[in-house]
Amino acid sequence: MSLSEIFKDAYGAEPTGFWAAPGRVNLIGEHTDYNDGFVLPFALPQRTVAAAGPSEDGRWHVCSTLIPEPVSFGTTSPGDVTGWGAYVAGVVWALQDAGFEVPPARIALDSDVPLGSGLSSSAALESAVLTALVDLGGLDLPVEKRPALAQRAENVYVGAPTGIMDQSASIRCLEGRALFLDCRTYEVEQIPFDLAAEGLAILVINSNAPHQHVDGEYGARRKACEEAAAALGVRALRDVDVADLPEALAKLGDDVLRRRTRHIVTENQRVLDTVALLREGRTREIGPLLTASHVSMRDDFEITVAQVDVAVETALESGAYGARMTGGGFGGCVLALIDADRAYATAAAVAAAYEKKGFTAPDSFVAVAGPGAARMPGNQ
Ligand code: ADP
Ligand code: MG
């Protein structure tokens, strides 16, 4: 069934239109967001589509092809709607809280962003719904202000303490570009990232590793970074320049804090170095930076698991220019920069390595930099 038919089936009416917002992968810059640092995500071709139209009863009604139970709600506050509906109710709430008159709406969602794999299905959902509601209501909300509202929905309403990256990527990315985002100022720059033109590809390998202790470990990393920043007398670890790192590390008594700090400071520099290379069209040369990022996450930030380490090692053995885990860690996805014609061979090599280790089989796909959230032309 098309999404149009699903909408009609659920609500007995035609949708006004369709709005799509993508998932994302972060090319480099991991755990730097909440340290006021730099990230470099790009939008995936996979996206969430919202078919939407007005609702006559003053409430919001949402259904999803991925979840059996639809959700309905009126005006709510954080905590009132839980489960997957919280992402949608959170967007309505964040808009209302910012003073907007949000149009009551009926929404049907479909998505090919895998849920809970670190490709940010949550931001894709929030961004698709936000864009639909802004357009339906004719709300005066410039694109650059939208990510923070979607982030509030996730932080305050859903209760997930994430940074600004996911929503910024889903809303602001452009086709053929990576989004260089300064997480302190929210300034963005569109960086050329046209892999196909250079015969390159990014292979994304979903490790399918079971997520374990993710929330607790994430909280512990954040706390360590805050402690280190306080001990160094800076607002955030972003304020430690890589040239001053040895001096900073000497000031920190605790070895764990030292390693966490070294990851963040060197990772920020790797983002800057990656951006500099991409600006010059030297895409292959970012490979070693990707791999160095992985080593830093594995040894200093300690957020990788065996499945992602094996995927990175195997991709490199198979000829990748560089490879790293992407996303918060403890599972999730790996990305590898490869020659475009090596995608199948690399994916097969990783699958074989997983089989040998007795891991759950991985899923792989080739990612190109797609567009950010937008209304879609025509019918779906
Ligand atoms: P990620 O963002 O990495 O995919 P999250 O845990 O942040 O993982 O978000 C996943 C959650 O978002 C799902 O468990 C579900 O509640 C919600 N979600 C995302 N996409 C959809 C969708 N298309 N339909 C319904 N719920 C969705
Ligand atoms: Mg998410």
Percentages helix, strand, coil for the chain (3-state, rounded to 5) are 45, 20, 30
- Report, as an integer, the average pLDDT of 271-295: 97
Of the chain, the percentage scoring pLDDT greater than 90 comes to 93
* pLDDT confidence band for 228 (50 / 70 / 90): very high
Of 138, 115, 111, 116, which Cα lies nearest the Cα of 50? Answer: 111
Q: What is the spatial distance between Cα 127 and Cα 19, in angstroms, rounded to a whole number? A: 9
Using only C-alpha atoms, what is the Rg of the chain? 21
Tokens 């195997």 correspond to: 314
Of 239, 251, 223, 207, which Cα lies nearest the Cα of 360? Answer: 207
Residue 19: what pLDDT? Answer: 98
Kindly state whether residues 126 and 222 are assigned to the same domain: no
The model's pTM is 0.95
Over the stretch 303-354, which tens digit does the pLDDT of each residue have?
A: 999 999 999 999 999 999 999 999 989 999 999 999 999 999 999 999 999 9
CA–centroid distance, residue 121 to ligand 1 (Å): 5
Closest-lying ligand 1 atom to the alpha carbon of residue 117: 3
Over the stretch 60-100, which tens digit does the pLDDT of each residue have?
A: 999 999 999 999 999 999 999 999 999 999 999 999 999 99
Kindly state whether residues 212 and 359 are assigned to the same domain: yes
CA–centroid distance, residue 257 to ligand 1 (Å): 32
Closest ligand relative to 23 C-alpha? 1
List the residue whose alpha carbon is closest to atom 3 of ligand 1.
118
Closest-lying ligand 1 atom to the alpha carbon of residue 118: 3
* Contact indicator for 61, 369 with CB cutoff of 8 Å: no
* Residue tagged active-site, from 33, 166, 239, 341: 166
Kindly state whether residues 181 and 267 are assigned to the same domain: no
Kindly state whether residues 276 and 188 are assigned to the same domain: no
Mutation test of ligand 1: which of 18, 46, 88, 122 has the most ligand atoms closer than 8 Å to its C-beta? 122
Closest ligand relative to 25 C-alpha? 1
* Contact indicator for 92, 72 with CB cutoff of 8 Å: no
Closest-lying ligand 1 atom to the alpha carbon of residue 120: 2
Kindly state whether residues 59 and 150 are assigned to the same domain: yes
* pLDDT confidence band for 215 (50 / 70 / 90): confident
Kindly state whether residues 98 and 231 are assigned to the same domain: no
CA–centroid distance, residue 12 to ligand 2 (Å): 31
Over the stretch 139-168, which tens digit does the pLDDT of each residue have?
A: 999 999 999 999 999 999 999 888 899 999
Q: Is 169 exposed, middle or buried (0-12, 13-18, 19+ CB in 10 A)?
A: buried
Tokens 């894709």 correspond to: 124
Instruction: Kindly report the number of other CB atoms within 10 A of residue 194's CB atom.
Output: 15
Kindly state whether residues 29 and 172 are assigned to the same domain: yes
Which residues contact ligand 1 via a Cβ below 6 A? 48, 64, 66-67, 84, 87, 109, 111, 115-122, 125
Q: What is the spatial distance between Cα 129 and Cα 26, in angstroms, rounded to a whole number? A: 22
Q: What is the spatial distance between Cα 191 and Cα 348, in angstroms, rounded to a whole number? A: 31
- Is residue 241 among the annotated active site residues? no
**Number of residues that make up the chain:** 380
CA–centroid distance, residue 161 to ligand 2 (Å): 10
CATH number at residue 24: 3.30.230.10
| pLDDT at residue 211 is higher than 80 | no
CA–centroid distance, residue 84 to ligand 1 (Å): 7
List the residue whose alpha carbon is closest to atom 16 of ligand 1.
84
List the residue whose alpha carbon is closest to atom 12 of ligand 1.
122
Kindly state whether residues 201 and 347 are assigned to the same domain: yes
Kindly state whether residues 170 and 258 are assigned to the same domain: no
Kindly state whether residues 188 and 211 are assigned to the same domain: no
* Contact indicator for 12, 113 with CB cutoff of 8 Å: no
CATH number at residue 232: 3.30.70.890
* pLDDT confidence band for 214 (50 / 70 / 90): confident
Q: Which domain holds residue 237?
A: 195-367
Kindly state whether residues 229 and 184 are assigned to the same domain: no
Kindly state whether residues 170 and 210 are assigned to the same domain: no
Q: What is the spatial distance between Cα 162 and Cα 151, in angstroms, rounded to a whole number? A: 7
Counting the structural domains of the chain, the total is 2
Over the stretch 46-62, which tens digit does the pLDDT of each residue have?
A: 999 999 999 999 999 99
Closest-lying ligand 1 atom to the alpha carbon of residue 327: 3
Q: What is the spatial distance between Cα 373 and Cα 250, in angstroms, rounded to a whole number? A: 45
Residue 380: what pLDDT? Answer: 55
CA–centroid distance, residue 203 to ligand 2 (Å): 20
* Contact indicator for 183, 36 with CB cutoff of 8 Å: yes
Greatest pairwise CA separation for the chain in angstroms: 67
Closest-lying ligand 1 atom to the alpha carbon of residue 67: 25
